[in-house]
Amino acid sequence: MTTRATVIGVGHYLPERIVENAEFEKTLDTSDEWIRARSGIERRHFAADGETTSDLAVHAAKAALADAGLEPDDVDAIVVATSTADLTFPSSATMVQAKLGITRGFAFDIQAVCAGFVYALTNANALILSGQAKRVLVIGAETFSRIMDWTDRGTCVLFGDGAGALLLEAQDGAGTKDDRGILSTDLNSDGRHKDILYVDGGVSTNTTGHLRMQGKEVFRHAVEKLASTARTALEKADMGADDIDWIVPHQANIRIIAGTAKKLGLSMDNVVVTVQDHGNTSAASIPLALSVGKQRGQIKPGDLIVTEAIGGGLAWGAVVLRW
């Protein structure tokens, strides 16, 4: 028998405030048509004043626990992927732990920007396979609206806030590619490309910063690297693109999503797309899309799913799992 980190619950949360593209026309030289054409985004959600990343994460966590029919005390560990933590420290994960009323186990954050959830899933998988935890709550949560430069039409129209969560449980599998659970992972980074996507401030520089992005450069790297990491993860699982039921990608830009699917030889009919309604929610985008995909009836038990993401660093990676 082989231990697999298996998804037993999924959930998400979006702040109440919905911001349509047209709202940006009041303050920027932009339009709904311009934003849709370049990104596929139609609207996004922004957190309310006083609503923090850990608040969003708790809502998503509760939804995932309810989906699994479990209570907070059934969780051994919490891993939160975020680049917009409530405070410099402690971690947002420990805040989620406290807000859920959990007083056992352990909790920590992972920061890999838009690739954060893939990194978090990979680490949670390792915790389960090593016997450190039986059940791990893996959350992606972001309040990117707090780091936007509202005068930069090339970035501020692209991002939104939200959270998504998966509950993973150690289950026995046969050790074949037909097992449910995480079948393979692939992580990568290359710090030489920092300047194409970063925030120009931080604690050790005593500055507060805003997100900066060279969109064309990010696009150039994204499609190739996302397709490559997906192929590598599939090869590790002894599978190919023909085995995929769903790609659930980081929801950054519809052109990147479509370009990656094309490189993998797949139709957009095999892709879960939510970017039009959420914008780019960074580390939250994949679990949000998984939760919405299940709600829509797209993702079903036994489906083979590939998640892939790229973010600042650059950091990128993919996970192959059977739902």
What are the catalytic residues?
114, 250, 280
CA atoms within 13 A on the CB side of 47: 26
Q: Are residues 315 and 250 in contact, defined by beta-carbon separation less than 8 angstroms?
A: no
The three-state secondary structure class of 204 is helix
Residues with Cβ within 8 Å of 284's Cβ and at least 6 positions away in sequence, in order, are: 12, 56, 60, 81, 117, 140, 141, 142, 161, 162, 163, 164
Q: Are strands 161-173 and 304-311 parallel, antiparallel or unpaired?
A: unpaired
Largest distance between two CA atoms of the chain? 60
Q: What is the DSSP letter of 280?
A: B
Report how far Cα 315 is from the mean position of its chain's Cα atoms: 13
Closest CA to 277 of 56, 43, 20: 43
**Complete DSSP assignment for 7-22:** EEEEEEE--SEEEEGG
State the angle between helix axes of 116-129 and 285-296 in degrees (0 to 180), rounded to the nearest 10: 80
CA geometry: angle 12, 17, 22, nearest 5 deg? 120
Residues with Cβ within 8 Å of 312's Cβ and at least 6 positions away in sequence, in order, are: 83, 113, 114, 194, 197, 198, 199
Task: Give the Cα separation of 174 and 195 in Å (integer).
Answer: 45
Q: Determine if the peptide bond prior to 314 is cis (ω within 30°).
A: yes
- Complete edge-to-edge strand list for the sheet that includes strand 106-110: 2-13, 161-173, 135-143, 77-81, 106-110
